A and B are shown apart, each in its own frame.
Chain A
Amino acid sequence: MKILASNHSSYPRVGDGPGEQKHRQAYTRMERGEISEEEFERVQDEITKEVIQRQISAALDIVTDGQIRWHDPISHLARHLEGCEINGLLRFFDTNFYFRQPVVKGDLRRRRPILKREFEFAKKVSAKLLKPVITGPYTLAKLSINRSGSGLRSVVKWFTKVVSEEIADLVEAGASLIQIEEPAILRNPGDWEVFQESIEELVSSKGSSDLLLCTYFGDAAPLYQKLSKLPVDGLVLDFTYSPKLPETISRFGGGKKLGLGVVDGRNTRMENSDEMTGVLRRIISTSGPEEIHVMPSCGLGDYLPSDVAFQKLKKVVEITNTVRASL
């Protein structure tokens, strides 16, 4: 069995030191029209590179581009779509972070590929496996205002088509592991059928890549059995909401790949390594997935200050190493 240390998704783009404000300052200058969007893109390239280096220096096996260019998990994709406008701010689940809410008016169409260039750049500057992350169709639809006149199923279908095209582009660009984030399903289990259809359709565009289905900000235990039967290559789960999750996984099995979000990405308190390694050993010994990714419970970029985010990644690596050594 392989045990890998992984980042989840986003990573802070701004730190506390005077030299760590480049992104923030460039953003302001771009908004004021003092620099062009192309110049801002170059700054985003630079920060992406730094963030990847930082993850590698923490000794992670799997890194992300930190989603430096993402305004938020919802509007980053939606703002590039025809058939959709971007509205005001809304709280992102139960966090202190706010996203811009899309208003869906009808069928959705990409103006151009969205994540491909971002992925190609990040892959080029990363010496480690780079995992692209996409918010899933169901969550995009559920957190949008629907003014299309059609029901939720149609909006999910439209987003599914867009996300499928994105996945195909990423695979073509060389992505071998892709994370689809669907936190909204945990709070709306009644929509399972629509959700399942969407995931099944996504899987058909994954080609040779491995698709990880990820949930967070809720207890995955009640849905675990259903989630584990979906035709994806693995699940990524948030353990901070879910005291019964280890037991549930042990009962129903861990599948092919399993991402264990055991390091709290929402709180600055540092985990007790012994406690965490105990939980991991139990899951590994009873459920036997082929590959384990030890990781934070959610993206770190919108919830933690930069210095703490780095400590959390080091904690992920420390736990991974301890578990590896004990096997």
Chain B
Amino acid sequence: MTRKKLEKLGLDLPLLPTTTVGSFPKPPYLLKARRDFMSGQLKSEELRALEERATKEWIKFQEDMGLDVLVDGEMYRGDMATYFARNLDGFKISGLVRSYGNRYYRKPVITGEVKWRGPITVDWWRFAQELTEKPVKGMITGPYTMMDWSFNEYYPSRRDACLAMAKALHEEVRALAKAGAKIIQVDEPAISARPEELHEFAVEAMEMVMKGVDAYFITHICYGAFEFIYPGMLDLPADNFDLEMSNSELDLMDMFRAHPFTKDLSFGVVDVHSHIVEDVETVEKRIRRALEVLKPEQLWIDPDCGLKTRTHDETLGKLRTMMEAVKRVRGDVTLEARVRE
């Protein structure tokens, strides 16, 4: 079904399309440039030039790897929620809040009506797409995650805040589609935070974001607790669910056996939270296990999550392993698909 949608959009992807979740590690020169920019020692156009250089490098890297669907690498983003909050009306940014251990972040604060004031990611998407013939995904942080990861001083309820976010993000999605993005990813890592809210308003919010936009939609979900929202989460109106599978030790497969997965699935086969590069056999086994419960036409292959916390070499190692494993499985799968035809 969704294969047809891809074809209708003019996207000719092989079986088991390969992609990544969104972020790549920032090269040392860009990390330094960001620090210099923060302390006022670098102009914004100088920073922008280095972000473009890093984006070009990552696009080339993905092409060299042979990935099928590319990302811009998010060289211009800090945190995935504050980046959007800074570019929407109605937000300010808080002081430091603890995330875990010795990690702190600045959290968006909703202080007024949330409004889209113009394209946020479209220029970056266009810049990346012009560098390659392969499709580049448009990427936004979803309304539920934006709401859950923000303080709310303005809206009377979480629902109101979430739906207001959805209205604003719908404009961004439309702008991406208008610019030519055919695959758009809506990141919702927080979606399982309060399972009861899935049907109270999270599904409705995602519907608002995607409504009337002609694109193939992926939603990326991580940080677990799927057992509380599956199979209900299939009501989210995405074509493809991008889930972390290796980090949750593939226990989702049992859930998919009990209740079939009805959408396409981007299957995270390498663990982005570990420095260790998996061996090809392990990853190959993971893909074959996925094929026990999914049709080859449903399955995409990618890492668990964004790769920004890994080193360049770990990123290279993990993606090489992934591509090699896909190559091994693809031959068999193509044959099976032909036999079925």
Contacts and interface: CB of A to CB of B under 8 A. Distances in A.
Does B associate with A?
A: yes
Interface of A: 12-16, 24, 27-28, 31, 71-72, 88-91, 94, 96-100, 267-269, 301-308
B96 A98 contact: no
B94 interface: yes
Nearest to B274: A88
A306 B149 contact: no
A305 B100 CA distance: 14
Contacts of A90: 224
Given A94-B193, A267-B153, A269-B152, A14 B107 contact: no
A306 B151 contact: no
B99 A97 contact: yes
A15 B95 contact: yes
Interface string B208-241: 0000000000000001110000000000000000
B111 to A, nearest CB: 9
B84 to A, nearest CB: 16
A96 B190 CA distance: 9
Interface in B225-268: 225
Nearest to B95: A305
B98 interface: yes
Contacts of A27: 101-102
B97 interface: yes
B109 interface: yes
Number of chain B interface residues as a range: 20 to 34
A28 B102 contact: yes
B37 interface: no
Contacts of A97: 98-100
Nearest to A307: B95
Contacts of A12: 96, 98
A265 to B, nearest CB: 12
B295 interface: no
A220 to B, nearest CB: 17
B190 to A, nearest CB: 8
21 contacts: A12-B96, A13-B98, A14-B98, A15-B95, A15-B96, A24-B102, A24-B104, A27-B102, A89-B100, A90-B224, A91-B225, A96-B97, A98-B99, A100-B100, A268-B94, A268-B151, A269-B151, A304-B97, A305-B97, A306-B96, A308-B94
Q: Which among B94, B148, B194 has the greatest number of chain A C-beta atoms within 10 A?
A: B94
Given A27-B101, A88-B273, 4 more contacts: A13-B98, A91-B223, A97-B98, A306-B95
A164 to B, nearest CB: 28
Given A91-B223, A94-B193, A305 B96 contact: yes
B300 to A, nearest CB: 25
A49 B223 CA distance: 36
Nearest to B100: A98
A134 to B, nearest CB: 20
Contacts of A71: 101
Nearest to A16: B95
Nearest to A71: B101
Contacts of B107: 96, 305
Contacts of B102: 24, 27-28, 31
Contacts of B190: 96
A96 B148 contact: yes
Nearest to A26: B102
A28 B104 CA distance: 12
A27 B104 CA distance: 12
A28 B98 CA distance: 15
A303 B96 CA distance: 10
B248 to A, nearest CB: 11
A98 B104 CA distance: 11
Nearest to A75: B101
Contacts of A269: 151-153
Interface string B147-173: 011011100000000000000000000
A308 B92 CA distance: 14
A305 to B, nearest CB: 3
Looking at A31, A99, A304, the one whose CB has the most chain B CB atoms below 10 A away is A304
A308 B190 CA distance: 24
Contacts of B153: 267-269
B104 A96 contact: no
Contacts of B225: 91
A15 B109 CA distance: 17
A29 to B, nearest CB: 11
> 3 nearest interchain CB pairs?
A305-B95, A98-B100, A269-B153
Given A24-B104, A268-B151, A269-B152, A302 B98 contact: yes
